[in-house]
Structure 1
Amino acid sequence: MPNVPSSQSTSPPPPSAPTPRDAPGADRTGRPAGPAAAVVDVEQAEAALVEHYPRLVRLAYLVLPPGLGRSRRVLTAHALAQRALPRGRARAAVVPDQRGTAQGRPGSPGYTYLRGQVLRAALEAGLPLRRRAWPKRAQLPPALPQVWGLRLFPRSGGADELALDQRLAALTGPARAAYVLRGLEHLPDDEVRRVLAAAGAADPDAALTEADGVGARYALLESPEFDPCSLQARPTDLVRRRQHLRAAAVAAVATLVCGALLAMPGDGWGPDGAAAPPYAKNPAAEAALDPARLTRVAPTAWKRSPRTDFTAWPARGELTGDTALLRRALAVWARPGPSVRVSATPGTPAGAPPGPAQLLFAGEVDAARVVLLHDGLRAVRYAEPKEGTGGAALDLARTDGATAADAGAVVLGRSDGNVRYLTAPWVRAAAVRDLLAPSAAATGLERGADGVTAPFASPALARDCRTWNALQLRDRDGTTRLATDLGELVPARLTAGRPHAPRAATAADWTRTACSLAAARSHGVRAVHAWPYAAQPLPDGSGQARWVCTRAETWRGAGSRVLAQVVTPGAAAGAVAAKAEGVPACGEREPRVLAGVLWKARTGAWYVLAAGSEDVTSVRVSGRDPVPGSAAVLPAERGERLHLTGRLADGTQLTSLH
């Protein structure tokens, strides 16, 4: 791991800024001359770097292009700050700091020089690569520092920090630099123009104008969300790391074989990328793997389509014409090689497409090239690094019978704890809503012209339940729906209300029970329904207990998961009273439910709390006399094992959920 200095020593930078190359008084090399210039040697710059390292790294992190991903931005920001030291003696213009006199800090030519170098390199990192020019050093991944086996990223902030990060991500590099120089360095606009011009920005005035649109939320720049010196560490794929080490020798041999096959005349399997070689010629299978035969739906076909599901999605993305990429995706789908990471939701059949599939998306997402396909039964995501085909991934998810409510979005990628979606063409607006904070306003989620959303924190990748972000989609007809990432390719739809008349859920429906959604991760869940089926007063007079039943329905029909939870006053989350799998309880076919729990009152006494749905006429607890009604409160002993039964109006006995 790199030696990352603590962010506690962050202090406002010394007053100075570089002079533009074309400023009056500059010599032919671009170094400022005359009384406004100061000579900076290595020792002086090193002292400034040690003193102001956290601020320099924060500046680089904020200006670097967001497309690098949070983990790579952290390492690149540290690399740019460490490369900023001069090799010999350099000149830097002393720009009066508007804060220096008031706070009693002297000017520092060393900091001025370092800030200019860091800013120039951060802007160069965002420049596009050119075919006929060598890439600049800042455009390449940093050789040092490097971290193996860990992903590093700053601590997550709140909704305000997320909104500011999304606004900054939409700016150009010079505009981000202008905003950061204003807010973090507190430079007036005239000095910002000089610093940007010295760093190589083509039009500082345009950058300042673009930065005006973000709004003066400068205090948020000091948030831990943007502090690359105070980091969280998460492991990479621990299970596959050993497999990759064992496969290194095999991969080297495979590379030699692939090279030999590519050099040989004939029909080698090199163009198929990470796919395994075909076993035999099969005309029908080859037709399904021909990129030219992929179904491409017109952009407006969904408006006239009798079905509003994945079959009405148009082909989107800037790489839909990349035949080589599409061929690799289809070949890996049919024959995933040993180096391909394959995942499938439970109940999803594996194997090649039965015929030509439908193309949904092909484009670059973060640091990967992604292809989304659909064959009427499954949604398939193929991803490969931008360079080469090593480390390719194939994800399959069952989507048969999807409706417009189920087909609102598909996961394009996850990285650094964030998720990014491709939304349906009928989605008008997208937002992020925290289910644990229903009174907070939803945070608008920016989307590109092709329907790709900005990234946001995913609950499927979180290790705690301090927040639970849901994707809020508003269709063109005004319908608003909530869905959440449960680690699947298709997010799970959230509903509420009585089982026989479900409706789209709101954040208030899930405030106390959202954390229980973690139990449904990676089970092929299609929708999760919340139903508050009973309420009863507590025996100590502290309020009412509310009983909620949640049912997670899967795409395959079988394997549904049911939880009965009791929510008491003052509790941050509901307590699980009972759970079952593969039962019809709490569903449309069998809405009846009964559950109970041992509860300790404020007085220290223990009670049995039991409640059933409204059609329960009496409840019996562990051999005691039946209690009329659908709820019961009885004294109990600590650790007592409960046996609950209920009686319906027609005399039928109902057992408790278990």
Structure 2
Amino acid sequence: MPLHPSPLRTPGPGTHLGVKEAEAALVQHYPRLVRLAYLTLPPGLGRHRRVLAAHAAVQRSLYGRARPAPEPGGDGVPAPRSAIGTDDGPGTPAYAAVRLRVLRSALAYERRPRWWPGRAPAPAELRLSVPVVRGLRLFPRAGGMDEYTLDRTLADVPATVRAALGLRLLESLPGDRTRALLAEAGVADPAGAVRAAAQVVGGDHERVRRILRSGEFDPCTVQTRPGDLLRRRHRRRAGAASLILLAVAGVAALPSDGGSDTAGPPATALRARVPGGALDPTALGRTPPGQWADTSRVDFSAWPPRGGRTDDRELLGRALGNWAGPPADVAVTAAPGTAVVAPAQPPQLLFAGELDGEAVVLFHDGGVRVVRYAEPLSGTGATALDFARVDNADVTTAAALAVGRTGSSARYLLAPWVAESATRDLLAPDTPARQLDVDRDGVTAAVPRPAEGGGCGSWPAMQLRSSEEIVEKHAFLVTDLGDLTPVHLTHTPEPGSGAPARQPREATGIDGLAAWARTACSLRDLRHTGVRAVNHWQFARQPLPGSRSTADWVCTRADTWRGPGRVLVQFVPPSAPVEVVSDLRNTASCSRFGRHIVAGTRWRSPAGAWYVLAAGSRAVHRIELAGSVRGVSDSPMLAVRAPRDAVFRVSAELRDGGAVSWSADGLPPP
């Protein structure tokens, strides 16, 4: 039977909103409230738990002590009801009060530690009007590449920024009311959250609003899928086996003569802890050799097992056992954001063989991780276990894995689709690439590694080419930054006059190699940070005052496997060393959703005069300096005479009416 709420009465200032008014507002605007909660909640919850938590946050907003009704038209309320023209529309105080509670509840998730019960839907929440069936998973409808890219970008920013984005685009609130509502919800820096949300959007307000209103971000229109039925079955069996093993262990633990402690848990006990036969060497996944040429998923799942010991059950069993429960003498390393836990199901075998005095095994774990196990052949030396994330890998980022590494070189296992391989020095772009020897298993000869410390006299990289069965004439560059997977290097050329915006392209051409030759040494700051790919974007070229030379403005963006990006904005003069003018963390700048940028620096001319230089990307049409030095330019570039110690900030207007800013020496942005 449909619910027909009674008309809302008009609460005056200082009165309390009753449950009936709140319920009427919630029922009528339930989908938009749930969408706002879903956008604000941490993506780390996973889509299923995030859907349940969004519905729970909205439904629980009806409970608790009623709050005074906000002043109509005041902070946090978009407009008086009379201005909207409805009795229960989104501009009413009842709706504003419910929305505020929903926002507070969603923001609270990210402030709680992972072990806090409220981070996952509690049983009380699941008893609300959300259909929950054991083993049934709920997912919003999958969108396209735009939706996926925006979702990954939003995973990099705090919940306060996602909330500000939802209020600005989904709720269509102006900036001042968004800041007021965030402050009322307990956000410490609402103005900063609104500015960060504007950077995520860039100038594409309508496009991002359309994406946020798509099925990808709609937790009310969901698809249902079963959980891992086989895993549940294995868990039931493992539970029964565990009870039996506990009984046997209890008998074995009785006092006996001449007992001694063991170095670690026996293999049978480890297998009992890990369900689904994940530690059984005979259950390892093995991809057929030619599948990579006949699949739409070209990543590590298409790698066949290679190496001379792929059938050595003892070696594979030791590798799996050490993975599940590494003893104290095993050196364990993991890239940032990589879970160091036992496999949940039998992993895929990529390699098992002998290399440089070690027995090495490589596993691929369910599309999320690669794991390297290495033990010495001679009995001397340390056993090592390395973990790295590889989710959503592709032709280039799944092209190689470090199978062996020394202080100055590394050997790689290449993907089966790599047809040609060579090495080159990024600091010597005019020197031809040298062919790299590869054995029949796909293992390369030793490749020099970039020096860890000291000077930067060279920067080795591999130039690989995919088989024409995958992509015709596709060559690309990768380099070693200390993780199991080498990093894919790309290049975005400088904007041409009147030309459309260019997407990142492979850096194997003349322009790409010349660009990386100036900035490759800045990659040292990205070592051991779990980087997936780095793009070099030359967003401006500026004539230098008092000379005939030009300087480049470069945005070097590193995308990590776990999501967050890091940006180095660099000023590249013709002869002086490269200067990093900004080091931004967890930002969408210089990506598809942060295409507009402006930056500034101090520069000394050959004649000894000091200037403040500023430049912006192609959409910038006006730049203004503020601080101890002032200036205006109706172009994407500006140069102003200034003292050597000038303190300044840069603001820029975009052609579409947006704005970007940059500040030096801690000055707040405008």
Which bracket does the TM-score occupy, shorter chain normalised?
0.5 to 0.7
CA displacement 1:336-381 (0-9 Å, x = unmatched): 1111111111111120111000000011111211100001210110
After TM superposition, give the deviation of residue 450 of structure 1 in Å: 0.6
Amino acid at match of 1:328: R
Q: Residue 323 of structure 1 aligns with which residue?
A: 313
Amino acid at match of 1:567: V
**1:637 correspondence with 2:643:** yes
Amino acid at match of 1:371: V
- State the aligned residue count: 389
Aligned pair partner of 2:578 in 568, 574, 582: 574
CA displacement 1:472-526 (0-9 Å, x = unmatched): 1111122101011011110110111168622111322301010011111111110
Question: 1:269/1:447 Cα in 2 relative to 1: closer, same or farther (>3 Å)?
Answer: farther
Question: 1:367/1:269 Cα in 2 relative to 1: closer, same or farther (>3 Å)?
Answer: farther
Q: Residue 114 of structure 1 aligns with which residue?
A: none
Aligned pair partner of 1:445 in 436, 458, 465: 436
Q: Helix, strand or coil: the match of 2:424? A: strand
Q: Residue 209 of structure 1 aligns with which residue?
A: none
After TM superposition, give the deviation of residue 641 of structure 1 in Å: 2.1
Q: Residue 656 of structure 1 aligns with which residue?
A: 662
Question: Does the CA-based 8 Å contact 2:353-2:361 persist in structure 1?
Answer: yes
Q: Helix, strand or coil: the match of 1:311? A: helix
Q: Residue 504 of structure 1 aligns with which residue?
A: 506
Superposition RMSD on alpha carbons, in Å?
Answer: 2.4
Q: Where do 1:452-491 residues align within 5 Å?
A: 452-459=443-450, 461=452, 463-477=454-468, 478-491=473-486
Question: 1:653/1:286 Cα in 2 relative to 1: closer, same or farther (>3 Å)?
Answer: closer
Aligned pair partner of 1:333 in 305, 323, 327: 323
Q: Helix, strand or coil: the match of 1:509? A: helix
Q: Helix, strand or coil: the match of 1:655? A: strand
Question: Does the CA-based 8 Å contact 2:274-2:342 persist in structure 1?
Answer: no
Q: Helix, strand or coil: the match of 2:319? A: helix
Question: 1:280/1:479 Cα in 2 relative to 1: closer, same or farther (>3 Å)?
Answer: closer
After TM superposition, give the deviation of residue 281 of structure 1 in Å: 6.1
| Structure 1 CA distance for aligned equivalents of residues 632 and 362 of structure 2 | 57
Amino acid at match of 1:555: W
Identity %: 45
Question: Does the CA-based 8 Å contact 1:580-1:657 persist in structure 2?
Answer: no
Question: 1:398/1:389 Cα in 2 relative to 1: closer, same or farther (>3 Å)?
Answer: farther
Q: Residue 526 of structure 2 aligns with which residue?
A: 520
**1:369 correspondence with 2:374:** no
Aligned pair partner of 1:563 in 562, 568, 573: 568
**1:588 correspondence with 2:587:** no
Question: 1:301/1:630 Cα in 2 relative to 1: closer, same or farther (>3 Å)?
Answer: same
After TM superposition, give the deviation of residue 642 of structure 1 in Å: 2.4
TM-score between the two structures when normalised by the length of structure 2: 0.56
After TM superposition, give the deviation of residue 330 of structure 1 in Å: 0.6
Name which of structure 1's ranges 494-503 and 339-348 shifts more when overlaid on structure 2.
Answer: 494-503
After TM superposition, give the deviation of residue 390 of structure 1 in Å: 5.4
Question: 1:479/1:401 Cα in 2 relative to 1: closer, same or farther (>3 Å)?
Answer: same
| Structure 1 CA distance for aligned equivalents of residues 474 and 552 of structure 2 | 28
| Structure 2 CA distance for aligned equivalents of residues 282 and 274 of structure 1 | 14
Question: Does the CA-based 8 Å contact 2:281-2:313 persist in structure 1?
Answer: yes
Question: Does the CA-based 8 Å contact 1:618-1:630 persist in structure 2?
Answer: yes
Q: Helix, strand or coil: the match of 2:631? A: coil
Question: Does the CA-based 8 Å contact 1:497-1:531 persist in structure 2?
Answer: yes
| Structure 1 CA distance for aligned equivalents of residues 431 and 479 of structure 2 | 17
Amino acid at match of 2:448: A
CA displacement 1:573-630 (0-9 Å, x = unmatched): 5221212111111111111111111111111111111111011111112242321111
Q: Helix, strand or coil: the match of 1:643? A: strand
Unaligned runs of 5+ in 2: 1-255, 494-500, 665-670
Question: Does the CA-based 8 Å contact 2:276-2:346 persist in structure 1?
Answer: no
Aligned pair partner of 2:535 in 524, 529, 532: 529
Amino acid at match of 2:625: V
Question: Does the CA-based 8 Å contact 1:368-1:383 persist in structure 2?
Answer: yes
Q: Helix, strand or coil: the match of 1:302? A: helix
| Structure 1 CA distance for aligned equivalents of residues 381 and 517 of structure 2 | 42
Name which of structure 1's ranges 457-466 and 363-372 shifts more when overlaid on structure 2.
Answer: 457-466
Q: Where do 1:6-45 residues align within 5 Å?
A: none
Amino acid at match of 1:642: F
Q: Residue 418 of structure 2 aligns with which residue?
A: 427
Q: Residue 301 of structure 1 aligns with which residue?
A: 291
| Structure 1 CA distance for aligned equivalents of residues 492 and 615 of structure 2 | 18
Question: 1:657/1:346 Cα in 2 relative to 1: closer, same or farther (>3 Å)?
Answer: farther
Question: Does the CA-based 8 Å contact 1:269-1:277 persist in structure 2?
Answer: no
| Structure 1 CA distance for aligned equivalents of residues 604 and 487 of structure 2 | 35
Q: Where do 1:86-235 residues align within 5 Å?
A: none
Q: Residue 343 of structure 2 aligns with which residue?
A: 353
Question: Does the CA-based 8 Å contact 1:274-1:389 persist in structure 2?
Answer: no
Q: Helix, strand or coil: the match of 1:282? A: helix
Question: Does the CA-based 8 Å contact 1:599-1:607 persist in structure 2?
Answer: yes
| Structure 2 CA distance for aligned equivalents of residues 464 and 316 of structure 1 | 38
| Structure 2 CA distance for aligned equivalents of residues 532 and 563 of structure 1 | 12
Q: Residue 59 of structure 1 aligns with which residue?
A: none
| Structure 2 CA distance for aligned equivalents of residues 539 and 500 of structure 1 | 28
Q: Residue 381 of structure 1 aligns with which residue?
A: 372
After TM superposition, give the deviation of residue 278 of structure 1 in Å: 7.4
Question: 1:285/1:461 Cα in 2 relative to 1: closer, same or farther (>3 Å)?
Answer: farther
Name which of structure 1's ranges 634-643 and 543-552 shifts more when overlaid on structure 2.
Answer: 634-643
**1:493 correspondence with 2:488:** yes
Name which of structure 1's ranges 445-454 and 646-655 shifts more when overlaid on structure 2.
Answer: 646-655
TM-score between the two structures when normalised by the length of structure 1: 0.57
Question: 1:556/1:281 Cα in 2 relative to 1: closer, same or farther (>3 Å)?
Answer: closer
Question: 1:438/1:304 Cα in 2 relative to 1: closer, same or farther (>3 Å)?
Answer: same
Q: Helix, strand or coil: the match of 2:518? A: coil
| Structure 2 CA distance for aligned equivalents of residues 288 and 348 of structure 1 | 19
| Structure 2 CA distance for aligned equivalents of residues 640 and 314 of structure 1 | 60
After TM superposition, give the deviation of residue 460 of structure 1 in Å: 5.7
After TM superposition, give the deviation of residue 269 of structure 1 in Å: 11
Q: Helix, strand or coil: the match of 1:518? A: helix
Amino acid at match of 2:609: A
CA displacement 1:25-80 (0-9 Å, x = unmatched): xxxxxxxxxxxxxxxxxxxxxxxxxxxxxxxxxxxxxxxxxxxxxxxxxxxxxxxx
After TM superposition, give the deviation of residue 306 of structure 1 in Å: 2.4
After TM superposition, give the deviation of residue 437 of structure 1 in Å: 0.4
Q: Where do 1:197-276 residues align within 5 Å?
A: none
Q: Helix, strand or coil: the match of 2:569? A: strand
| Structure 2 CA distance for aligned equivalents of residues 317 and 325 of structure 1 | 13
Q: Residue 125 of structure 1 aligns with which residue?
A: none
Question: Does the CA-based 8 Å contact 1:278-1:335 persist in structure 2?
Answer: no
Q: Helix, strand or coil: the match of 1:459? A: coil
Question: Does the CA-based 8 Å contact 2:334-2:387 persist in structure 1?
Answer: yes
After TM superposition, give the deviation of residue 441 of structure 1 in Å: 0.7
| Structure 2 CA distance for aligned equivalents of residues 278 and 634 of structure 1 | 74
| Structure 1 CA distance for aligned equivalents of residues 545 and 635 of structure 2 | 16
Question: Does the CA-based 8 Å contact 2:274-2:343 persist in structure 1?
Answer: no
Q: Helix, strand or coil: the match of 1:511? A: helix
Amino acid at match of 1:501: Q
Amino acid at match of 2:401: V
Question: 1:519/1:657 Cα in 2 relative to 1: closer, same or farther (>3 Å)?
Answer: farther
After TM superposition, give the deviation of residue 277 of structure 1 in Å: 7.2
| Structure 1 CA distance for aligned equivalents of residues 623 and 373 of structure 2 | 53
Q: Residue 230 of structure 1 aligns with which residue?
A: none
